[in-house]
Every structure is written in C-alpha cells, then in structure tokens.
Amino acid sequence: MSLREVGPRDGLQNEDPVPTAAKVALLDALSTTGLRRIEAVSFVHPRAIPQMADADEVWAAARREPGVRYSALVPNSRGAARALAAGFTDIEVVVSASDTHNRRNVNRSTTESLDDITAMIEQVHDAGGSVEVIVATSFGCPYEGNIAPERVAGIVRRVLADGADRIAYGDTTGMATPRRVRDLFDAVPPPTWVPTLLHFHNTRGTALANIVTALGLGVVEFDASVGGLGGCPYAPGASGNVATEEVVHMLDDMGIETGVDLDKLLDAARLAQKIVGRDLPSGVLKAGPRVPR
C-alpha cells in the first residue's frame, strides 16, 4: 500500500496564504512520518494560485528526507520547465475530464490541455523525469454533473499513447461513491504497465468507502491530505481531501501495512491545524485512535 501526502500542496492551496517557513515546517514534519511520497509544491502562475507563489523558496528550504519521493504539480509546459529547473524529476500534470472545469482551472479546453501534455511528456522525459497525468473530475463535475466513464477512458488512452508514466483519477468535489468507482474501472481497468492512483475528497463522507472499494479492485496507491486539508479553488463545494491519518488508522486496523507512524502523523496534523488557524475535519485528529496508544 502506498500513500502520497498532498497536504503541503493541495491542502494549503485552498487556505489563506501561510508563511513560507510554516510550509517548510509542515513539509519537514511529514517527511519524518514514514510516508514515502509527498506532493511538495505546485508551479503555477501566482495570479492563479497566490498560495503557491513561493514554491521555489519552499523547495529550496525544505529538508529532503532519504527514501522519500517528492513531486510537484504543474498546469502546463511552462510550469514543468520551472519544476525541472528547481530539481524535481517527478512531475504531475492535471487535466479535467470536464471541459467546463478545465477552462475554469487552467483557462483551456480539455483538448488544448491534452495537446500541451503531449509536448510536456516529451519535455520531461528528455530531462530524465517522469510524468503522472491526473484526470480531474473523473467521477463528476459541479458544472456538468455526471462524467461518462467512457470520456475518462478516452483521455487515459490518449495520454498513455503519448507516454505518460503514471495515471491518477481525481474526485475533485467528492462526487465519487463505491458504485461510481466500480463504474469507472469497468470502463478503464487499471493498466498493468503503469501505476494507477486514486485521489478522493471526503466532501460527502464517502472517501474511506471508496478506498476500500478500490482496494478490492486492485488499486494500491492513494492520495491523502494531513488533517483533511484541501479543496479546489475552481470547483464550488470542493471541501477537503480524505485525511491521511484517517486512511492510515483504517488500513492499520485492516492489517494493511502503510509504513506510516500514526503518532508522528497526528503530530503533523496538529501542526497543520495550528498553521491554518482553524479546526480541521479529520475525525481521528479530533477523537484519537480507536484504542489508546
């Protein structure tokens, strides 16, 4: 089982901007929990996401823990060039299955983004890096409603043909349910030749159920965000991601090894809560583990 922590990027991008030093402190705390993948920053125009305007400064100051793979999210080829220049080799790029959401998110149609991703994959590969393509709104869109799994399948076929190294499916506004997870993978079975990851929001309280469903379908990689931080600035109602400590707590009780120290993770969640200055939605953060530790 592999978890990617997305709190430092996806979590903080939906909050009021926090100081660079606080971002570095959270990133460093998460690096000591046993997590093996962390999404550190995004390289996006500061007018679009001012919360990520200091991405270069955060990454320059962060402690790089051996054995942890750090990645950066980019919206386009220009962002990929910045990420590569900063030293990242694991690059993520997002494209929405919903054309309306894609225009709100990156001011392009889905087709225009896919054309840019084709060039970006070559750009990153030439620099010795890898590209993960995240298909946002895979399970529904707040503007367009249900998204046909076949539309998602078409996007996946395109980016795999273009050489994408990894595929991820984003539940951008928490519209996924176990049924929708099964429907998606009926149309797009997890490829055996590239890793597949799922990114669930807990907007409607179904994220853990969706993870259990996906586990039964053979998926073993998931995103999660410390404390349940997160959301999407361009999607109404996109509340926080599933909390990393809730996922670890559940998987530990199921006997599924994550390699993550829950106590250290809860310390990081408390730090995140202090940084943003409000109570975070994580139930495990509020109530503690089911059995006192």
Catalytic residues: 232
Q: What is the DSSP letter of 93?
A: E
| C-alpha distance from residue 65 to each of 21, 69, 179 (Å) | 17, 9, 38
Q: How would you label 147-163 residue by residue, b for 16+ Cβ within 10 Å and e otherwise?
A: bebebbbebbebbeebb
H or E segment at 185? helix 178-187
Q: How would you label 256-275 residue by residue, b for 16+ Cβ within 10 Å and e otherwise?
A: eebebebeebbebbebbbeb
Query: What's the rounded Cα separation, in Å, for the pair 61 and 20?
Result: 9
Query: What's the rounded Cα separation, in Å, for the pair 235 and 218?
Result: 29
Query: What's the rounded Cα separation, in Å, for the pair 261 and 43?
Result: 29
| C-alpha distance from residue 144 to each of 134, 168, 207, 217, 290 (Å) | 19, 20, 21, 27, 39
- Residue 22's φ and ψ, nearest 5 degrees, are -70, -40
